[in-house]
Amino acid sequence: MKISFAEPALPAKGAVVVLVEEGKKLSPAAKDLDKQTKGAVKRAIAASKFVGKKGQSLEIMVPAGSSLDRVLLAGTGKAFGELEQQALGGNVVGKLMNSGSAEVTVIVDAGAKDLTAAAANVALGARLASYRFDKYLTKQDNDNGKPTLKAVKVGVKGAAKARKAYAPMDKVADGVFFTRDLVSEPGNVIYPESLAAQCKELTKLGVKVEILDEKKMAGLGMNALLGVGQGSVRESRIVVMSWNGAAKSKKPVAFVGKGVTFDTGGISLKPGPGMEEMKWDMGGAGTVIGLMKALAGRKAKVNAVGLVGLVENMPDGKAQRPGDIVKSMSGQTIEILNTDAEGRLVLADVLWYCQDRFKPQFIVDLATLTGAIIIGLGHEYAGVFANDDKLADQLFAAGTATEEKVWRLPLHDNYDKKLKSDAADMKNIGGRDAGSITAAQFLQRYVNKTPWAHIDIAGMAWSKEAAPTAPKGATGFGVRLLDRFLADNYE
Ligand code: BES
Ligand code: MN
Ligand code: ZN
């Protein structure tokens, strides 16, 4: 989608969107349009239920003699804040994407004090909503789902200022799109080596990318991670991405992602129905990779490392068995009672390696870790666990600001006790109760004393329903959350 900014003026062609504040208060552009059309705008409003509430829109007849495609009124609601502005941009694209119009002009001239910021947010929402993953639809044409909308022009007084405010947001959207692309790809296309190759692409933006192969990992003693991948014909990988945007002396912030490129459950095989969904079990890694792209793209003033543990969990003659005992890089041994609790085994070694090598200010890990988090929180909030209140609070605030929401759940020694094993230092499952918490307790054993937060995104990485700023499918959840978390607290 081509996004541009211009001084506000009713266009001669394409579609046009004008704002109406709640209570039928017409924006200057809406008033102009009403005058030009001898009262058609007010008449249309009077004959409808449209009052300008947020999310509301009303298409009105194109005036006779006009060369416009269509005219849309969009409600700003009572408080036209950042998130409402983004949602409005997204809703406009959602409405017009397949409408036949190729271009839309949205005139942002009411509802907010800072109209240039509002315009930038409308543009961001529009871009985020325009995402499509249709590369495998070979028969798509104009009568069959192919998008027609190609360009969104935002009309605002002080367009240059809006353009400047939007520039870094566009880079964040690039990161979100990269995550969505990676998560959408099926398991035959995205596997550890090919996903590592995708990470390599970030070198073009100035990210340092280092790939650890199985030999290297074996030398480091990463048997927890390697055990998960041993049933797959695809070799496992760890990718370390570094973005250095601050002084060399500054300790990095660190992000770790679960990258199970396909999770069959292994020998503890998952049931057939819905198993295809486990192609997005690399969602945590996808978010970390997209975040690195966003940070490098907008040249964030922070030193950040992103580490992803990439494995495929398959049943096979060589696969890990229930009852196997492995020694992790940390030296702690693990009795594997369920090969489907594999994410924590991967993260155990990557978390340990991360704190050991980088001594970061903190680690935030992201993982599609447990089905139980979906039972608890559904698809509204991701679960967050932390050994540090400040981190948890900062993540909560960034979640509220971006609408990528996180809700904190507890950690406690009494949950940790559920991991006790008779045969090894711990087992990899803690029983049915509080499954997301015992999984987090397991991870905590591998972060040493580092301030750490774990975000369980199992309910958030993929959506079966479209949202204003995301079509259904891979959401890219976490990129905007963590970008904001860094911008607000660490740059
Ligand atoms: N990748 C799954 C978690 C998952 C389930 C993500 C559904 C998204 C949707 C994870 O590896 C897993 O299988 N977890 C098990 C853990 C159990 C064996 C302790 C689970 O949640 O059932
Ligand atoms: Mn699993
Ligand atoms: Zn998994």
Chain segment 102-111, per-residue pLDDT in tens = 999 999 999 9
274 CB-contact burial (10 Å; exposed 0-12 / middle 13-18 / buried 19+): exposed
| pLDDT given for residue 145 in this prediction | 82
342 CA: nearest ligand 1 atom: 11
370 CA: nearest ligand 1 atom: 21
CA 307 to centroid of ligand 3, rounded, Å: 17
Q: What is the pLDDT of residues 231-282, one digit of tens each?
A: 999 999 999 999 999 999 999 999 999 999 999 999 999 999 999 999 999 9
Q: Mutation test of ligand 1: which of 183, 258, 320, 340 has the most ligand atoms closer than 8 Å to its C-beta?
A: 340
Q: What is the pLDDT of residues 3-53, one digit of tens each?
A: 999 999 999 999 999 999 999 999 999 999 999 888 999 999 999 999 999
Supply 69's token pair: 């495609």
Supply 308's token pair: 């992803």
Q: For residues 75 and 73, what is the distance between their CA atoms, to the nearest angstrom?
A: 7
Supply 364's token pair: 């935030």
Q: For residues 213 and 191, what is the distance between their CA atoms, to the nearest angstrom?
A: 14
Are residues 266 and 231 in contact, defined by beta-carbon separation less than 8 angstroms? Answer: yes
CA 96 to centroid of ligand 1, rounded, Å: 38
Indicate the pLDDT class of residue 467, thresholds 50, 70 and 90.
Answer: very high
Q: What is the pLDDT of residues 171-208, one digit of tens each?
A: 999 999 999 999 999 999 999 999 999 999 999 999 99
> Residue 417 catalytic?
no
Residue 310 has pLDDT above 80, yes or no: yes
Q: Given CA atoms 338, 339, 342, 348 in this order, what sign does their dihedral have?
A: positive
367 CB-contact burial (10 Å; exposed 0-12 / middle 13-18 / buried 19+): buried
| pLDDT given for residue 68 in this prediction | 93
Terminal CA-to-CA distance of the chain, rounded, Å?
A: 30
Residue 63 has pLDDT above 90, yes or no: no
| pLDDT given for residue 61 in this prediction | 84
Catalytically annotated residue among 293, 344, 445, 484: 344
Q: Is the C-beta atom of 281 inside 6 A of ligand 1?
A: yes
> Residue 344 catalytic?
yes
What ranges do the domains of the chain cover? Answer: 2-159, 172-489
Average pLDDT, the chain: 97
Chosen CATH of 172-489 out of 3.30.700.30, 3.40.630.10, 2.40.100.10, 3.30.1300.30: 3.40.630.10
Residue 66 has pLDDT above 90, yes or no: no
CA 259 to centroid of ligand 2, rounded, Å: 11
Nearest residue (by CA) to ligand 1, atom 14, is 370
Are residues 447 and 363 in contact, defined by beta-carbon separation less than 8 angstroms? Answer: yes
Indicate the pLDDT class of residue 287, thresholds 50, 70 and 90.
Answer: very high
Does the model's pTM come out above 0.95? yes
CA dist list (Å): 45 to 56, 77, 368, 385: 12, 15, 46, 48
Q: Is the C-beta atom of 259 inside 6 A of ligand 1?
A: no
Q: What is the pLDDT of residues 121-168, one digit of tens each?
A: 999 999 999 999 999 999 887 677 899 999 999 999 999 999 999 999
Q: Where are the alpha helices (DSSP H) in 105-254?
A: 115-129, 159-184, 192-200, 214-220, 223-229
Which ligand gives the minimal distance to the CA of 258?
3
| pLDDT given for residue 140 in this prediction | 83
Chosen CATH of 2-159 out of 3.40.50.620, 3.40.50.300, 3.40.710.10, 3.40.220.10: 3.40.220.10
Exposure string over 481-490, b if 16+ CB within 10 A, otherwise e: bbbbbbbebb
237-244 and 208-212: which strand pairing?
antiparallel
With a pLDDT cut of 90, the percent of the chain lying above it is 96
Strand-pairing partners, residue 6, are 155
